């Protein structure tokens, strides 16, 4: 598995502002993913972030709202832009360490509250 950290662990933000969430992995990985987990719900994939290419967004998620950077094989950021209370959620990054098992491991998550 991989050791994954996220910053910040939680934040309270005002509507209309933006927040950038960082995801750091202790080893080089090709595949990183960003998920959202709304209160009481399961995980919804926002986008897949591969180093060296543009992120691939899922239906319902757009780059203008959730821009993603992947500057190297150990780091990625997700920005939640022009936030509204509906963006209140837990945001999780996950990685596939590339062992051929297709297992994904999750970071501790960022709990975002938008007021």
Partner 1 sequence: QKEVEQNSGPLSVPEGAIASLNCTYSDRGSQSFFWYRQYSGKSPELIMSIYSNGDKEDGRFTAQLNKASQYVSLLIRDSQPSDSATYLCAVNRGSGNTPLVFGKGTRLSVIA
Please say whether the beta carbons of 106 and 4 come within 8 A: yes
Q: Which of 14, 53, 101, 115 binds partner 1 (CB under 8 A)?
A: 101
Q: Which of 92, 95, 112, 114 binds partner 1 (CB under 8 A)?
A: 92
Per-position x/- string for 6-45, each x denoting binding to partner 1 as judged by CB under 8 A, each - no binding: -------------------------x-x-------xxxxx
Q: Which two tokens stand for residue 83?
A: 């936030």
- Is 82 an interacting residue with respect to partner 1 (CB under 8 A)? no
Closest approach, Cβ 2 to partner 1, in A, equals 11
Radius of gyration of the chain (CA): 13
- Is 73 an interacting residue with respect to partner 1 (CB under 8 A)? no
Pairing mode, strands 105-106 and 10-13: unpaired
Q: Which segments within the chain are labelled E, that is strand?
A: 4-7, 10-13, 19-25, 31-37, 43-50, 56-57, 68-72, 75-80, 89-96, 105-106, 110-114
Closest approach, Cβ 103 to partner 1, in A, equals 6
Contact residues for partner 1, defined by CB under 8 A: 1, 31, 33, 41-45, 48, 58-59, 90, 92, 96, 101-109
């Amino acid at each position: 598995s991989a050791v994954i950290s996220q910053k910040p662990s939680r934040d309270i933000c005002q509507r209309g502002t933006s927040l950038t969430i960082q995801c750091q992995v202790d080893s080089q990985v090709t595949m990183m993913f960003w998920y959202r987990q709304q209160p009481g719900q399961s995980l919804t994939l926002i986008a897949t972030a591969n180093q060296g290419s543009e992120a691939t967004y899922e239906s319902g998620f757009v780059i203008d709202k959730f821009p993603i950077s992947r500057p190297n094989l150990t780091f990625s950021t997700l920005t939640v832009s022009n936030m509204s209370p509906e963006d209140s959620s837990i945001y999780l990054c996950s990685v596939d360490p590339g062992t051929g098992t297709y297992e994904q491991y999750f970071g501790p998550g960022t709990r975002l509250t938008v007021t």
